[in-house]
Amino acid sequence: MNDLNRALGDIRDIRRQLAQSTEFRGYGPLTLFATATFAVVAGLVQSALLTEPARHPLQFVAIWSATAILSAALIAIQTLTRTHRMHSGMANEMILMAVEQFLPAAAAGTLLTVVIVSTVPQGVWLLPGLWQIVYSLGVFSSCRFMPRPMLAAGAWYLLTGLLCIALGDARALSPWVMAGAYAVGQSLIAGTLYFTAKKVSDEE
């Protein structure tokens, strides 16, 4: 029994090492582009319903948190199905690896939101910049097993996040600050995935 357990452990280690050296193809370009559309819709909703977000920080956070949750749910559902199709026997290892890379950034962004909203609501204007910076860290972390041009998307979110904080006041809560940053950033990710997949397909 010990030999069998050792052999099974070795097999799991080998599969994990193979997963770590394989480019992850579980994210679909159309899904990522859909999340860019969600950002634009959220910007329109905020523009129509929340003309003074600085006076209503909870509503601002609610709009963009709902958008993030919807986007994450769509990506998660599509990634599960696409990964099993693209990576077949290594699907579970690839999904676990993807989650491990992005989960710390998602958790940090969630905790930052809770802490700022509950303890220093006057600092909510910092959240758009912090969200984008934290998201950039998740993208950079995921670049280990993603196409190298994905670094450009991480750099974009880092730059826009820093610019948001540089505004220094409630201007960072403008609907188009968030909508513009995420619409462009997610479209950049979607385009990278699409053209990389097309190149791989042509080579095959």
Q: What is the DSSP string of the chain?
A: -HHHHHHHHHHHHHHHHHHHTS----S-HHHHHHHHHHHHHHHHHHHHH-S-GGG-HHHHHHHHHHHHHHHHHHHHHHHHHHHHHHHGGGHHHHHHHHHHHHHHHHHHHHHHHHHHHHH-GGGGGGHHHHHHHHHHHHHHHHGGGS-TTHHHHHHHHHHHHHHHHHH-SGGGG-HHHHHHHHHHHHHHHHHHHHHHHHHHHHH-
Name the least confident of 14-23, 36-45, 82-91, 190-199.
Answer: 14-23
Q: CA 20 to CA 17: how far, in whole Å?
A: 5
Q: Which residues contact 119 (CB under 8 A, 6 or more apart)?
A: none
Residue ranges of the domains in the chain?
A: 2-203
Task: Give the span between the Cα atoms of 35 and 185, in whole angstroms.
Answer: 10
What lies within 8 Å, CB to CB, of 193 at 6+ separation is 27, 28, 29, 32, 147
**Rounded-to-integer distance, Cα 73 and Cα 67, Å:** 10
pLDDT, tens digit, 9 for 90 and up, residues 101-158: 889 999 999 999 999 999 999 999 999 999 999 999 999 988 877 888 889 999 999 9
pLDDT score at 3: 54
pLDDT per residue as tens digits for the range 21-52: 566 777 889 999 999 999 999 999 999 999 89
Q: Rounded mean pLDDT of 88-107? A: 82
Closest of 79, 62, 141 to residue 107, by C-alpha: 141
Percent of the chain past pLDDT 90, that is, above it, reads 61
- Which of the residue ranges 50-64, 77-91, 155-169 would you say has the lowest mean pLDDT? 77-91
**CA dihedral (72, 176, 132, 158) positive or negative:** positive
